[in-house]
Amino acid sequence: MSTKRICSVCEAGCGLIIDADGRKVVSIEANPDDVFSQGHVCAKGIALKDLDADPDRLRQPLLRRDGELQPVGWDEAFEFIAEKLGLFLDRSDRNAVAVYFGNPTAHNIGLSMGAGVFAGMLGSTNIYTAGSVDQLPKQLASALMFGSGMALPVPDIARTDFLLMLGANPIVSNGSLWMVPGFRQKLRDLQSRGGRLVTIDPRRTETARLADTHHFIRPGTDAFLLAALINGIVQAGREPDVSVGVRHWQELKKALSPVSLALASERCGVSEDALRALTRQMLNAESPVVYGRVGTTLQQHGTLTSFLVEVLNMLLGALDRPGGAMFPEQPFTSARSGSESVSYNRWQSRVSGYPEVLGQMPCAALAEEIETPGEGQIRALFCFAGNPVVSNPDSDRLAEALGSLELLVCCDIYHNETTRLADVVLPGSSPFEDGHYDSFLGSMGWRNSARYSPPIFEAEAMREWDMAMTLSCLAASGRVPSDKERRDFEDNIVANAATGYVADVSSPLHGRDIQEIVGSIGPESGVERLLDLGIRAGRWGDQFDGTDGLTLQQMIETPDGIDLGELRGGRLAEVVTHADGCIELAPAVIIDALTSLVATRDNPGLRLVGRRQAATNNSWLGNLPSLTKGKQYCQLQMHPEDAAEHGVAECGRIRLVSAAGSIEAEVTLTDDLMKGCVCLPHGFSEQDDVAQGVRRLGPNYNRLAAAAEVDRPSGTSALNGIAVTVERL
Ligand SMILES: Nc1nc2c(c(=O)[nH]1)N[C@H]1C(S)=C(S)[C@@H](COP(=O)(O)OP(=O)(O)OC[C@H]3O[C@@H](n4cnc5c(=O)[nH]c(N)nc54)[C@H](O)[C@@H]3O)O[C@H]1N2
Ligand SMILES: Nc1nc2c(c(=O)[nH]1)N[C@H]1C(S)=C(S)[C@@H](COP(=O)(O)OP(=O)(O)OC[C@H]3O[C@@H](n4cnc5c(=O)[nH]c(N)nc54)[C@H](O)[C@@H]3O)O[C@H]1N2
Ligand code: SF4
Ligand SMILES: [Mo]
């Protein structure tokens, strides 16, 4: 049996062809006919065959008894959770129960929507996501500027003639906040039509090697570089060039003016001549575009840097125009609630006073919020598809804090450094046992398309949507629901969602009959009901009125996907959700961030930055032999001159020391790294008692990250640019 489906591992969303014999996957290859990925695939997608068959993959709930996690049935696991959770709900201290959403929830629609419902039922303000060790600064910048944290433009790679890329390595990562499968080929096409790529990174990355120009940059100084480029473009007479109104441009211009070319060059380590040349190239390009990713968000000035990326796009006339930074569209649409005010700083964390950002608290606050007594102290945590002990800062302290909880429930497909501390582990399903639709990333595609994959196999365990519905019912009532109660609960969720569209004045379903809509939804159960509803209410949807618009069923019948065309410009009026329809250019947060940027002192000494590698995905997949093939993956890269200064030789072992801790690592020398920087991948750990057959043993990068080192506006951890010293062993 051969089935086509979308890979759910990373943001590229590649189309795969899965050959199976009964329940056994025999082979996986690229789907050349997929309208979106056009035949791209990487080793991780192919390795899903091993993941599916992996005996180490969790298939049964585990419950801690006599100090050890032991297999139990689902009923027993849920009963245990109900009993423990009931205690917290009785105490009516809702914030005592926290939720952590890991990265794969963004690629798992049942989990993202289901666990979202669960978090809503808890009513806790202690909601944490991997976003605050990733992209949250970019979302906050968009929220401040456009009014929505989901207004995230992507480069129109098919039409641009000049791409400036900061802190991203899509040749290895396959793109981020940008679904761009086959970046290598798209770059070739760009260059063969005379276009150029310029990269800015402390490391000459795999992407930088294919670029026309690469500049090394001192970690954390991109805001200086961007401010200098903006000032240069303003001096050339450019003004904001967009189809909607802008407010406070003069204020922003004034706040940027202290960043002279000389200051920027001194701080970021890019020569004044190079900055001038870059400014000229962008001014001369027909359709330039600027893009920044992890290196620009997971650093000290993440929000400001992300904000300035879009200011630059706007001045270049690139925002919302073909060849520039465009807002993709996806078939699924959420209903808009009446109040569209930016969700920021509505409450603060108890200990460090971090502001709420888009409904979240930052991971940097998690350990201290568990450790510190008083009302609102976190005593229980539900962790969905995450591994905070490895992915969050100050790992040792966080592990200790998590170990002290009265209740830790993890939902994962594997054992990891976090599940080993859990009281209950609920298994997720194999990716082939669940449906797939990119609801979060769908609006960041290089091209618009409609694709959905139904499950290939029956779930051995339980579909994560069903698990999350049971947990949600349980959080609502304090006890394990009967099958009927669970079904009624799910029906209610669907009816509420339909009510949302009917109440939304901007929805084509506005004012329609709710029962009629609910009765016409295609699938009979599961998260697919919400999906069908959102697709049919969307721009391409059939609007439940018998016309021939899009439905989930049509997507099921078109496994190669439906191409919805190139990105559409002129969308700002729709994208900007500030009440006056204007783009905000000088929010107080950004002006303050600029002031403190200019006041920062340059701190000499070694800086640690991260890198991603083709065969792993954050802290998982490292256990699949077909990917790792016994290679050494976790080496510290060092510049030969820095190594000589510290008396370190190739393959020598060193101790790396920061304000937060120390780790030991093996060194490899390369001048692909800027002098003054060292580079280590994340996702490894020294713990050899988890992930049976683990091949990702290595120093845990985040043991060096102090929790307090954050991008202050968003609370996002500054995991790049950590000040370190080196001791030879
Ligand atoms: N130093 C440093 N730290 C970093 C980063 C960095 O660049 N440098 N990057 C950061 C970034 S960008 C991110 S996104 C975070 C990630 O941080 P996390 O999301 O906390 O961690 P992951 O390592 O992605 O772990 C994901 C877990 O989900 C499980 N999983 C996979 N698929 C499924 C599924 O379908 N269902 C369930 N239930 N579980 C599943 C995996 O087995 C794994 O244990 O790490 C961040 N940490
Ligand atoms: N193979 C593989 N693919 C992945 C992942 C993975 O773990 N493995 N993870 C997935 C996830 S969750 C994400 S979020 C994406 C991330 O996707 P990308 O952002 O493309 O990936 P990174 O390789 O982390 O690129 C970050 C770059 O920023 C640079 N950098 C560090 N500090 C600075 C700085 O201050 N300024 C500048 N300009 N650059 C800096 C680093 O040297 C690095 O090259 O990748 C996804 N894809
Ligand atoms: S690039 Fe990402 S989506 Fe494509 S096959 Fe690899 S892991 Fe899967
Ligand atoms: Mo990420």
Model confidence pLDDT, tens digit, residues 527-564: 999 999 999 999 999 999 988 899 999 999 999 999 99
| Per-residue pLDDT reduced to its tens digit, 122-149 | 999 999 999 999 999 999 999 999 999 9
Q: Look at domain 151-328+577-596 and name its CATH class.
A: alpha beta
For residues 685 and 672, give the distance between their C-alpha atoms in angstroms, rounded to a whole number: 25
* Domain assignments of the chain as residue spans, ordered by start: 2-53, 62-124+335-436+448-490, 151-328+577-596, 603-728
Cα(103) to ligand 1 centroid in Å equals 5
Ligand 4 centroid–CA 618 distance in Å is: 8
Distances (CA, A) of 377 to 90, 213, 401, 403, 631: 15, 50, 12, 15, 43
67 CB neighbour count, 10 Å cutoff:
5
> Quick one: pLDDT at residue 147?
96
Residues 6+ apart with CB under 8 A from 469: 114, 117, 486, 489, 490, 493
Phi, psi of 723 (to 5 degrees): -75, 125
Pairing of strands 325-326, 288-292: unpaired
Point out the ligand 2 atom lying closest to the alpha carbon of residue 611: 23
Q: 318: Cβ below 6 Å to ligand 3?
A: no
The CATH class, in words, for 2-53 is: alpha beta
Which helix (DSSP H) or strand (DSSP E) does residue 246 occupy? strand 246-247
Best residue for ligand 2 mutational test, from 169, 290, 673 (most atoms within 8 Å of Cβ): 169
Ligand 1 center to 452 CA (angstroms): 23
* Backbone torsions φ then ψ of 425, nearest 5 degrees: -120, 125
Determine the distance separating the centroid of ligand 4 and the alpha carbon of 119, expressed in angstroms: 21
Cα separation values, 28 from 20, 206, 313, Å: 9, 26, 40
Q: What percent of the chain has pLDDT over 90?
A: 91
Q: Are 680 and 636 in contact (CB under 8 A)?
A: yes
Whether the per-residue pLDDT at 691 is higher than 60: the answer is no
How high is the pLDDT of residue 628? 73
Rg over CA atoms, the chain: 25
| Distance between Cα 614 and ligand 3 center (Å) | 10
- For residue 28, which ligand has an atom nearest its CA? 3
Q: 58 CB less than 6 Å from ligand 1?
A: no
Cβ–ligand 3 distance for 181 under 6 Å, the answer yes
Q: What is the mean pLDDT of the chain?
A: 95
pLDDT at 708: 97
Place of tokens 């590229």: 12
- Fold agreement between 151-328+577-596 and 603-728: no
- 615-664 per-position pLDDT tens digit: 889 999 888 878 877 565 789 999 999 999 999 988 889 999 999 999 99
Q: Is the CB of 362 under 6 A from ligand 1?
A: no
Whether residue 692 is predicted with pLDDT greater than 70 in this model: the reply is no
Q: How confident is the model at residue 693 (pLDDT cuts 50, 70, 90)?
A: very low
d(CA 515, CA 546): 16
10 Cα nearest atom in ligand 3:
2
Cα 556 to averaged position of ligand 2 atoms, centre (Å): 33
Mean pLDDT of 665-692: 89
Q: Is the CB of 170 under 6 A from ligand 3?
A: no
Q: Residues 222, 296: contact at Cβ < 8 Å?
A: yes
Q: What is the pLDDT of residue 140?
A: 98
- CA triple 225-227-230, angle to 5 deg: 110
**Cβ pair 646, 69 in contact under 8 A:** no
Q: Kindly state if the Cβ of 174 falls inside 6 Å of ligand 2.
A: yes
Q: What percent of the chain is modeled with pLDDT above 70?
A: 98
Q: Are 477 and 593 in contact (CB under 8 A)?
A: no
Task: Quick: pLDDT tens for 503-521.
Answer: 999 999 999 999 999 999 9
Is this model's pTM higher than 0.85 or not? Answer: yes
Per-residue confidence band for 266, with pLDDT thresholds at 50, 70 and 90: very high
**In which band, very low, low, confident or very high, does the pLDDT at 290 lie, cut at 50, 70 and 90?**
very high
Fold (CATH) for 603-728: Barwin-like endoglucanases (2.40.40)
Distance CA 24, CA 43 (A): 19
pLDDT tens digits, 423-447: 999 999 999 999 999 999 999 999 9
For the Cβ of 42 lying below 6 angstroms from any atom of ligand 3, the answer is yes
Is-contact 669 702, C-beta < 8 A? no
- Decide which of 298 and 629 is more confident: 298
Query: With 60 as the cut, is the pLDDT of residue 329 above it?
Result: yes
Q: What is the CATH number of domain 62-124+335-436+448-490?
A: 3.40.50.740
Q: Which atom of ligand 2 is nearest to the CA of 609?
A: 31
198: nearest Cα among 261, 279, 271: 279
475 has a pLDDT exceeding 80 = yes
Site to substitute for ligand 1 among 9, 176, 381, 412, most atoms within 8 A of C-beta: 412
pLDDT band at 90 (very low <50, low <70, confident <90, very high): confident
Ligand 2 pocket member 617 (CB < 6 A):
yes
Averaged over 454-458, what is the pLDDT? 96
